[in-house]
Amino acid sequence: MHIQLLKSKIHRVKITQAELHYVGSITIDEDLMDAAHIIEHEKVQVVNINNGERLETYVIKGKRGSGEVCLNGPAARKAQVGDIVIIITYCSMDVAEAKTYQPVVIFPDEYNRL
């Protein structure tokens, strides 16, 4: 049997941009992606601290070192620039492995930097 559990989390980053007329997804600074072990096109859950909205989308690489966190497409309606969000990834593994697994959690500063 496999269970779903937390793989990684970017805890409390600020939305820097919202692009309604874009194909969709969330763009994240590549430094943040690397630190949180998130790869391009990976499915993520985005939880908005300011308004309680939750959404699922996929990740696009943002410019390394930019601090960029941009909601694209319809997701842009779920947050405003300046909102604080948590970006979460999950993985599937067997119960024995899950008992010893340690997720990666990063805590960027107020400028979305490590």
- Catalytic annotation present for 25: yes
Give the phi and the psi of residue 73 in degrees, each rounded to 5: 65, -150
- Catalytic annotation present for 92: no
40 is written with which tokens?
A: 């391009």
Q: Could you identify the residue written with the tokens 């696009």? A: 60
Task: Pick the catalytic residue from 25, 66, 92, 101.
Answer: 25
CA distance 31 to 22: 23
Catalytic residues: 25, 58
